[in-house]
Structures are given as C-alpha cells and as structure tokens.
Structure 1
Amino acid sequence: MYHASKSNPLRPFLLLTRQLHLHVMAPGARRFLAFLFLNVLSWQCLIGTVMVLHARALGISRGAVGLLFSLLYFAGCLGVVTKPLAERFGSKRVLMAGWTARNLLVLPIILTPVLFHYGGRGPAAVLLFATISLFCITRSMAGIAWSSWLHEIVPPFQLGRFYTLETVMTRLLTVVFGLIAFVVLGRHPPLWRFAAIAAAGVVFGLFSLRLLQRVPGGLPVAGNRSGRVRGGYRLVFRDGMFMGFLICSTLFGVIYTGLALLVTLTLRDQLGTGAGTILLLTSCGNVLAMFTTPRWQRIADRHGSPVVMAANGLLIVLCLGVLGGLRAGHAPLPLLVLACALIPIAESGNYMAVSRGFMLRMKPRARHAYNAVWSALNQIFYGASAVFLGFWLQAGTPSHFRGAAWGYALLMLAAIWIALHLPVPRWDSPGEPSLVYNPAHPFRSLGHMLRYVLRPARSVTHLPPAG
C-alpha cells in the first residue's frame, strides 16, 4: 500500500484523492461515478477532438466539420420530445434504452476505412455523418433523464463535490487517452486507426450499461398528468432566477464550444500539427485541472457559481488572445503550451460551476421540465456556434482564424460582466465573507481567485474545504 510520504512520487495524487472525500458521497452517486468512468472512455473514443480529426482525415471540409460538430448540440432540443416518457417510465429506463441504442447505432462507424477504400470520400463521409447523427439523436433523446436522475440521488450539499469528482476523473481519463492516441495515431495516421479507436469506444459504452443498471432511483414521476406536464414548463419560464442563470451559462457555453473547435483546427490547419500531437497537447493540460477543480469547488460553495464562471472566463480571454496572435505555420511553443494548459483548467471549473448552479436552481417537482428547457436552449446555441465557426474558417486564411479568436474574446468579456451581475440565491452561496471575493471590487477579486486556484502555495487566501 502506498503512503503519502514526501518521497512517494504518487503523493500529489494520494493527497488529491484524500481531499475529494469519495467515501462520504451517497451510495447512488458513487455508483453513477463508476458508470461515468466507462462512459467517459467511450466518449473520448467517439466524439470531440478525435471526431474532428477523423473527419478531416477523410477530406471533409471545415464547414462540413462545423456542421458535424454542431449535430451533437442541435440534437439536444429533442429532450422536449422525451420529457413525457421520462416522467411516465422513469429516468432509469429511458437512459438505459437511449444509451443502448446510441452504442449500437454508432457501431457502423468502424467501416469508414472500407467505404473510403472502395467508394472514395463521399460514401465514407456519408457514413460518418449518419452514424454520428444517430449517436447524437439517441443520446439527446435519453439525455433528459441524466440530470433528473442525478438530481434525485445526489444531495444538494454534495453537488459541488460530485461534479468535482466527475471532472477530476474525466480529466485523468483524457490525459490517458491523449497519451495512447499520441502513440496510436502519430502524425499522419491511416483511417483504420481511427476506426479501431471508435470500436474501442463502442465496447466501453456497452460495458458501461452493466454499471448503469446498478444505480438506484430513476423511477417514474408519481401522479403524472398532462396538465402537470404543461404546468412544469410554465413554472420553469416564470422562474427568473433559473432563466437568468440559463441565459448567462448559455453564453459561456457558446464560447467554450467554439473554442474547442477553433483550437483543433488552428493546430491542424494553421500550424500543421499532427493528429497524435494535437490530442497530446489538448489532453495534458488536464493534469493541472485535476488539482485546480477542487479549489474552484470551494470558491463556488462559498460565493456561488457565477463568480467562478467569471474567473474562468478571464483565463479563456487570455487563451483566445494567444490564439489571436499566432501566425500561420509558426507559433512560440511556450505560449502554445500555456494556452493548452489553461483551457482545461477553465473548462473544468466552468463545467463544475455551471452544473452545480443549474442543479441548485432546479425545483424537484418539475425536474424533467427544467432539464428539457435547459438542454434545448443550451444545445441550440452551442450548435449555432459550431456551424458559424466552421463556415467562418472555411476560407482558411490566417485573418479568419485570428478574427474568430478575438471575436470570442470580446464575447467572453461580455459574459463575464453578466455573470458578475447575476443574483445569487442563498442556497447557492451561504453569503459568508472571505478574502477571495468582494462584490465592491469584482475584477480585483477575480484576480485573487485566480491566484488562489493557480498559485495556492503563495496565496494569502485560505479557504476551508467545502462541506
């Protein structure tokens, strides 16, 4: 057994595990995290950066890649359709059925090298679009049950810790996947290697269903009536606290969605970086995110989610400034590494804060309606961001890439201003003062927060662990 001695190379990870207090989580939450372990592996192999690189390896244009990337988000509005099913049959049955279907329907993606060999780019591209579309549709139709189920099994005071644990696990797996993909893909990988990674993703997804079966809860809504369904939507749209947070978080999400696509295409098409190196660069920053996310959680539990979203937004503005200053074919390596390191830190903190804030503002008696509205509005605008960026970068000129970076940076500054002026309910923040945040000096306080998160050893601010 390893001990957290100073000579132990695993000491930082052991200390991190101890600080996260996994053992105090509710049993249902721990079982859901076990399911998430395999689900994240499946996602890494099928969607995201590897999907963009797979599409570009087939010769699909940047505009079409933007459309493909947007399918993941546009399909999110389908949760409105399956909301009555989740209320009638329960979150567990809907999620099990949807996750089974999505893994089976995406399976033919492994045949893209065969179609490319015999039929050329056209049939292979059609197969990629068809399988990813079916994956996104089934995922989104069942996804409404995801947050509703978590809202049922995770106590409110443990939401911050749950999403911190999820983020740390996700970032760790992203690093592992990036290292493996770097070896497997190399600089100019043949198509069969993308197909092999996708096949592994399907296998992980099917095995994750065994773990999902063991999660408790997810039962039908008691006393479900059609009037209750309509009343649920009315309750959501009249909830000013929730709708304000939804609009603000959607604006942040639009920028993060565009940034994910912009970074991948900049590295590949402007700087000529190989596929394996791209996955390595974009994943290794996740090591730092594993250690910073618990600190973001402590700030969120003390001062609410919006201020954490704003502080992470400042990091993204810095990264977008770096991308906006790059020249085609050349980039200072230290700046590139810095941007790729800071982006996961900001993404992780933002995901934890947004997820926590959303769940705390959701009313249990209409949780399915809250999820449907949240998913529909978020995903439509995220998809629009991906489509716009894909066609904007279609010209491929350096000025278009720089313009996209500076445009998103200005939009992020607006999002930060909105977040700092959002009302924070008492159940999101106990209102206890600390040296981290002072509403009278918001931007100075954001600097204190970043110092606490990024340089804790030299920070004069000390926050106790979240409860």
Structure 2
Amino acid sequence: MIPALFPTPKSDPELAPFRSGLVFAFFNALSWQIGIGTPMVLFAEQLGATPFQVGLAYSFVFVLTPVQILSTALLPKYGFKAVMLGGWRTRSFFLAVPAALAAAALALGGERPWMVHAMVWSVFFFCFFRSIGAASGVSWFYAILPAQIRGRYFASDQFASAVASVGTLLACAALFALLPVYWALLTQYLIALGGSTISYFSLKQLPDGDRPTAISLATVVRDTPRHLFTRSTFSTYVWLAVACAVVATPIPPFAAYFLKVGARLSTAQIMVFEVARYSGVMVAAWVIRRRIDETGARPFFLLALGLYAVVGLYWWFFLRNGVGGIPGLFFSYFLLGLGAATWAIANLNYLPKIIAQESRTLAVSIHGAVTALIGGLSPVLWGMLLKGEGGAGRSLDVGMFQWFFVSVVVAAVILSSLVARLPEEKGHPVDPIVIGNAILRPFRAMTYLVSLVEPVPRKKDEGR
C-alpha cells in the first residue's frame, strides 16, 4: 500500500524524486478536510454559531481569492517555494486556535460566547495565509515536473489525497461516535495540525522552480472588463458558471448545520453523510473524466445541473415531511458530490475550447476568481436569510430553508436551458486544465484556477 501511495526508486524511479510532493498531498488533506470542511462547520455550531457565522466562515476560502491574485506579484521576487512555504507555515498556527478552544471548553465545562468569534477569526486567518501560499500552487509543480511524468504524478497526487480524505472523514465520524464532542474536536484539530506540519516539511524537500513571469496587475485591471463583458462564448459561460456557484456553494454547510440543529442528528451521522458526498466526488473524478473527451463537456454540465435539481427537490420534500430518512439523506449527499465534481471536470475540459492560447492564463484566472468570489458570497447572504427566530444562537428558519432549495431547483432548470445553447466543437480534442488533487474539492476548485503566472518550461523540456 505504501509504495502505491508514495513511489520508491524501485517501484517508480521517475516519480521517486518527487515523493515528498505526494506526501504533502496526503497529509495536507488532513488539514483542509478538518480546518475548512464539515468538522469546522460542526465545531462552529457546537460553539453556538448562527447560520450567518457559519456561512461567513465557510465563505472565507472563496472570498479571499483576491489575496491569492495579489500574492502572485511575490512569485517573481521570492520564487514558488518561498511563497508557498510562507503561506503554509503561517496558516498552521491558526489550526492551533480551534484546538485551544476545544481544550478551553473542556476546562471551563462548556463553551463561552467569545469562543465562536475566535473560531470564525481563526478560519479567516487560516484561509488568508492559505490564499498566499496557493498563489504558487500547481504552477510550482508544473515548473519542476518533467513533462513526461506530469500526468502520472497528478494521478498519484489525486489518489494519495483521496485515500487521506476518506480516512480523515471516517476517523472524524468514529471520534464523534466514541468520544464526548469536545474531546473529539480536540483530537481532530490535533490531527489537522499534525497533518499541516508534516505537509509543510514535505514541501521543504522539493526543489524550487525557475522564477516565473507574472502578468502585471495593470494588465489584469485593463483586460478583465473586456473578457467579462464583451459578447463572447467565454463571457457567457463565465456568468453561467457564476450562477451555478451561487446556487451550489451554500448547500454543504447549511445542510450539515440543519441536520445538527434542526433534524438533531448526531455529528457522527453527519460525517458519514460527508463520506457519501466524497464518494460521489471520487466516482466522478475516476469515471466521468474518461468519457468526457468522447462526449464533450456540455452533456456533463447538464448532468450536473440535473443532479443539483434532484438534490434540491429531495431536500424540499425532506424538510416538509422527512421523506427518505437516513438512506435518502445518504443518497442525496452522494448525488451532491457527484454533481459538484461533474461540473468541475466539465469546466476544466470546456475552458480550453473557448479561450485563445495567448490569453489562456489570464482568462482562466478571471473565470476562477469571479466564480469563486461571487459564489463564495452566497453562503454569507443565505446565512443572513436563514437566521432562526430571534436571530441568535443555534437555530435555522426551516421555511426559508425550503425556499432555498426551491431556488436551487428553479435555477438548475433555467441554467440547463441556457447551458444547452453553449457552442462546443467536437472532434478537436484539447488538453484539459490540470489542478491536481483540487478536483477532489469541487466546490473550491475554482480557486485553484487563479494564477497570473505564465507557464515556465523546464530546461529539459525546452526544444522538444
């Protein structure tokens, strides 16, 4: 199993020099699954967070995308490695805050009002420094990996991250089932902190790439309005993708929040549903991507929207009379993960078909930034609308939550009719955009498209 996850000179001599990158992918999954995933939502709820506070904390990873854009200006001066290490090192300190809060709750015999505010701020700073490090991201690996092994590396990267992610979710479910809630949360955040520390030291072992050339911010400011508002297939698709993000992004945090405060399910049960959602993501990642070259992206956009509509319809019935119960919820989570990853994969395949090669770097970054930023504001706005009676504490307006899922269904139907009109040439295959294991985080995948760094060829690849 270990050689399959982490290649050795004997099992794969070409990948072995980059083994530490795969170790990074594995242990980094522990930190993001807990630090900005459903365990974070459940921790915030346990501390007494309102829907607005949950939506705000969940949105930080999206709305801080401008920090990622600005941080690309650091790359030509400091290089890929220094920027990513700086971001990853500093973000780790803010994983210690929730661990300290869990320990404080144990010592004090329960939560205190100030704790939820400290929790939200810790997520903000974690995401802030993560955004700085992410400015390097996939571009660094492109700069150091030989062209002939990139596909194999990113496939291994995805596999290592998937194994770690599923293991983390199952471990969280088991901890919630076996331990008192704050002991479980303390243990989880210590795991996340350990994963973040190991991932940092794994990154340190990788070589730096050549200093890149970044697109100037003046060029970004000048050309962004043209890309977004000039009538074109690209601009049409960007706004359809934004609409889809606005619809889909709030579903995971508020579904988990409702199941805890409204349906009164246990945290362990909710984490099992997260395993189902992640199973849907993995099915899409390993099945759909093999068929999309034959069928084109558009049918998969329509499939994703259809799945969102089914999920929205099911939840509307569930909120009214509990139809389907636990098995229905499990299946709806699976469909949600399947739909999110299907859209993300289709997006990576479709974008290169509608963007000229000379403007690809900037256009893809614009698409990722606008989609992530506007889509990330959606949980904040819905959090304000979903506040329960009195607007404070652990409560959620179930009637408004039903209207939320009505809006999901209606938007999915309208978007389907518009997406069906998108032009797509078949018979002219293009290389899809590669974002490594980020495809396994489909709701955050747009943030990984943001890079104002022009591709840097390896010296050994030049002249090929």
When normalised by structure 2's length, the TM-score is 0.75
Kept in 1: contact 2:64–2:128 (CA 8 A): yes
Give the match's secondary structure for 1:221: coil
Distance 1:264 1:49 in 2: 7
- Say if 1:33 and 1:90 are closer, same or farther in 2 by CA, change over 3 A: same
1:249 counterpart = 2:241? yes
Q: State the partner residue of 2:288.
A: 296
1:77 counterpart = 2:66? yes
Q: State the partner residue of 1:129.
A: 120
Of 197-206 and 389-398, deviating more is 389-398
- 1:136-156 Cα shifts (integer Å, max 9, x gaps): 111112222224335546799
Q: State the partner residue of 2:385.
A: 392
- Say if 1:189 and 1:379 are closer, same or farther in 2 by CA, change over 3 A: farther
Trace 1:370-449 onto structure 2 (pairs within 5 A): 373-395=366-388, 396-424=396-424, 429=429
In the TM superposition, residue 264 of structure 1 has moved relative to its aligned partner by 0.9
Trace 1:32-43 onto structure 2 (pairs within 5 A): 32-43=21-32
Q: State the partner residue of 1:210.
A: 201
- 1:40-62 Cα shifts (integer Å, max 9, x gaps): 11111212110110001011112
Distance 2:170 2:144 in 1: 34
The one-letter code of the counterpart of 1:197 is Q
Distance 2:347 2:48 in 1: 36
- Say if 1:304 and 1:96 are closer, same or farther in 2 by CA, change over 3 A: farther
Q: State the partner residue of 2:308.
A: 316
- Unaligned runs of 5+ residues in structure 2 are 5-10, 389-395, 432-464
Give the match's secondary structure for 1:326: helix
The one-letter code of the counterpart of 1:294 is W
Q: State the partner residue of 1:220.
A: 211
- Say if 1:323 and 1:302 are closer, same or farther in 2 by CA, change over 3 A: same
Kept in 2: contact 1:172–1:287 (CA 8 A): no
Kept in 2: contact 1:32–1:215 (CA 8 A): yes
Trace 1:230-309 onto structure 2 (pairs within 5 A): 230-231=218-219, 234=222, 238-239=226-227, 242-287=234-279, 289-309=281-301
Q: State the partner residue of 1:108.
A: 97
Of 111-120 and 98-107, deviating more is 111-120
Kept in 2: contact 1:181–1:276 (CA 8 A): yes
Identity of aligned residues (%): 19
Kept in 2: contact 1:300–1:353 (CA 8 A): yes
Q: State the partner residue of 1:19.
A: none
- 1:67-113 Cα shifts (integer Å, max 9, x gaps): 12122221112123212112333333211211111112332221113
Distance 2:119 2:234 in 1: 37
Trace 1:294-373 onto structure 2 (pairs within 5 A): 294-327=286-319, 330-332=322-324, 333-357=326-350, 369=362, 373=366
- Unaligned runs of 5+ residues in structure 1 are 2-13, 15-21, 432-467
1:182 counterpart = 2:170? no
CA RMSD of aligned residues (A): 3.9
The one-letter code of the counterpart of 1:191 is Y
